Amino acid sequence: MAPVPVPHHGGAMSAAVDLASRWLGGGVVAASDESFGFKENLLVPQAADFVPGRYDHRGEIVDGWETRRRRGEPGHDWAVVRLGAPGVVRSVDVDTSFFTGNYPPRCRIEACGMEGHPGVGDLTGPDAEWVEIVPLSPLTGDAHNVFPVADPRRFTHVRLSIHPDGGVARLRVIGEVVPDPRQWDGLTVDLASQEHGGLVVASSDDFYTSAELLNRPGRARTMGEGWETSRRRDSGHDFAVVRLAATGRLRQIVVDTAHFKYNATAEVELHGHVPGVGSVPQASGGADGDGWFPLTGRLRIQPDTRHVFTLPEPTAPVSAVRVDAYPDGGISRVRLVGVPEPASRREAGLRWFNALPEGQAASCLAHAGLSPETARRVLAARPLGAGLSELPAGGAGVDVLAAWLTGPG
């Protein structure tokens, strides 16, 4: 059966995702202590759950991260989290659900940006440049403690410090994905994917499950991990709008109805949105216009099937795609595979480099072969503009940096 209905009939979606989500590849890489509750519980996708009276050799079984009692000794506990998708953090939810007599009185949150795949020693060593994004703040037990964040930089890791000890059920790091577009060069990529910065921005109906699940990485494991609408009793149809991570030309469309066996959508039709023609409309409508143009005709789809539609030639550039679902039902995933347009690639490169913390930006410049003096001049010139006039002339290192910012060719 489908999950318990949560009546919500669509509309505009959030412009942010949980950057630390396990779905995006987030992980808890280290913690000072986890005597009563494992650190990995912090990022469990489901809401916290607790059944009192269950014990193991550690004590009562908790659904969260819980440290031992410090009993007045100096210091505090902490956990370091690798973000699944680096980005700009907008808020942090320190969820203390079910922790009532054992929650931390206060917390502090820091963030850093590091290149590559740093290990625990790198993240806890002297070269890690942690900056405070949430100052030491009081916590309430058995509650969602949401803290706004105003720092505009792109981070790869966060560190939750609890003072002095206690239990936290979940940690959600809400923000906007800022991808490293160097990873796109020479490839076709899923421009809809959350891990690259794609967002589901609107839908007609999310009665059972949200359309925001459509562009998660990986395949759905159950019907509850896809988009399912209510049963229509009229002549209309459902839709979802995906804002792409970058304007691009699509080459392949994947529509997956995995696990939807008796309630899958019967047919789909896709429209693209012309870049720069107003804002992406938050509504459907079968007719062209308002920047929409057809990408496919009506496509029949099967239950519990991954459908791959390779286009005969790349589409015109699109900044968003509307998936019209006839008449209703369920779709687990939509993939929109293509190549970013040069102008959009340049925009993504500039946003990425301008948002890097200084230490990470300096590491990139050193890797590009820039001398320390030239690197200092480049860092001082940020934010760089589209013309890259701020870059010093000459030198292979500067040429490599320019290619990183604008893409090959």
Model pTM score: 0.92
In this prediction, residue 11 carries a pLDDT of: 65
Selection from 272, 267, 284, 385 nearest residue 336 by Cα: 272
| Secondary structure (3-state) at 15 | coil
Contacts of 345 (CB under 8 A, 6+ apart): 181, 184, 185, 246, 406, 407
What integer best gives the mean pLDDT of the chain?
93
Average pLDDT rounded to a whole number, residues 75-84: 98
What gap in Å lies between CA 312 and CA 108, rounded to an integer?
53
Is 183-339 the same fold as 17-177? yes
pLDDT at position 3 is 32
Determine the pLDDT at residue 13.
Answer: 65
Model confidence band, residue 285 (pLDDT cutoffs 50, 70, 90): very low
Cα angle for residues 154, 158, 160 (degrees, 5° grid):
150
Tokens 């007719």 sit on residue: 287
Q: What is the pLDDT of residue 393?
A: 79
Measure the CA–CA gap between 288 and 299, rounded to whole angstroms: 17
Per-domain residue ranges of the chain:
17-177, 183-339, 342-406
Q: What pLDDT is stored for residue 408 in this prediction? A: 78
Cβ-Cβ contacts under 8 Å for 313 (sequence gap 6 or more):
none
Query: pLDDT digit string (tens) for 193-208?
Result: 999 999 999 999 999 9
Query: Burial level of 40, CB count in 10 A (0-12/13-18/19+)?
Result: middle
Distance CA 318, CA 65 (A): 44
pLDDT surpassing 60 at residue 317: yes
Tens of pLDDT, residue by residue over 2-20, are 333 333 456 666 678 999 9
Q: Which range is least confidently modeled, 6-10, 74-78, 248-252, 342-346?
A: 6-10
The CA distances from residue 104 to 47, 69, 167, 295, in Å, are: 19, 10, 6, 53
H-helix or E-strand containing 286? none
- Confidence bin at 395 (pLDDT 50/70/90): confident
Give CATH for domain 183-339. Answer: 2.60.120.260
* Residue 280: per-residue pLDDT: 62
Residues 6+ apart with CB under 8 A from 55: 61
Contact (Cβ atoms closer than 8 angstroms) between residue 251 and residue 189? no
What is the fold, at CATH topology level, of the domain defined by 17-177? Jelly Rolls (2.60.120)
Q: What's the pLDDT tens digit per position in 106-134?
A: 999 999 999 999 999 999 999 899 999 99
User: Picking from 140-149, 188-197, 286-295, which range would have the lowest pLDDT averaged per residue?
Assistant: 286-295
Model confidence over 222-273: pLDDT tens digits? 999 999 999 999 999 999 999 999 999 999 999 999 999 999 999 999 999 9
Token digits for 407? 């893409």
pLDDT on residue 409: 66
Radius of gyration of the chain (CA): 23
What's the pLDDT tens digit per position in 134-170?
Answer: 999 999 999 999 999 999 999 999 999 999 999 999 9
194: helix, strand or coil = helix
- Distance of alpha carbon 239 from alpha carbon 328, whole angstroms: 9
